[in-house]
Amino acid sequence: MTSTIAKDASNGAKNEPEPAKRNYGLAVMREKETKALITLACDCISETCRVTNEMHSVIYDRNTTVSDAELQQQLDEALSCWQTADHYLRMLDSVLEERNGDSPVPWRPTDSPF
């Protein structure tokens, strides 16, 4: 038998029992989605850094001549990568809110549709 009574920690704080985690269905998909979204966001930020670093090098290199049109194209690419990272981070925020129960969704992951 498992007790749900909170026990005092050594520092006097209460340890609340954590609810059981589901390891099937939508809970599994949300966990995978969380990992995929943070990976995609990190990749987008890395690409933004790579493109802007290349721009920085070209702008400060006195021996390289690059047209403003080429720099504008690189800037557009960097901004697109940054906006894509923002998009994935906002999607991740929604998933985390849903998982934490903070989002007003019409159903709860613990409710069975059957």
pLDDT band with cut points at 50, 70 and 90 for residue 98: confident
What rounded mean pLDDT belongs to the chain? 82
Residue type, 89: L
**What's the whole-number mean pLDDT along residues 44-54?**
98
**What's the whole-number mean pLDDT along residues 44-64?**
95
Q: Greatest CA span in the chain, whole angstroms?
A: 75
Residue 12 has pLDDT above 80, yes or no: no
pLDDT band with cut points at 50, 70 and 90 for residue 45: very high
DSSP characters over 55-72: HHHHHH-TT----HHHHH
**What's the whole-number mean pLDDT along residues 41-60?**
97
Per domain, the residue ranges of the chain are 34-102
Are 99 and 89 within 8 A, CB to CB? no
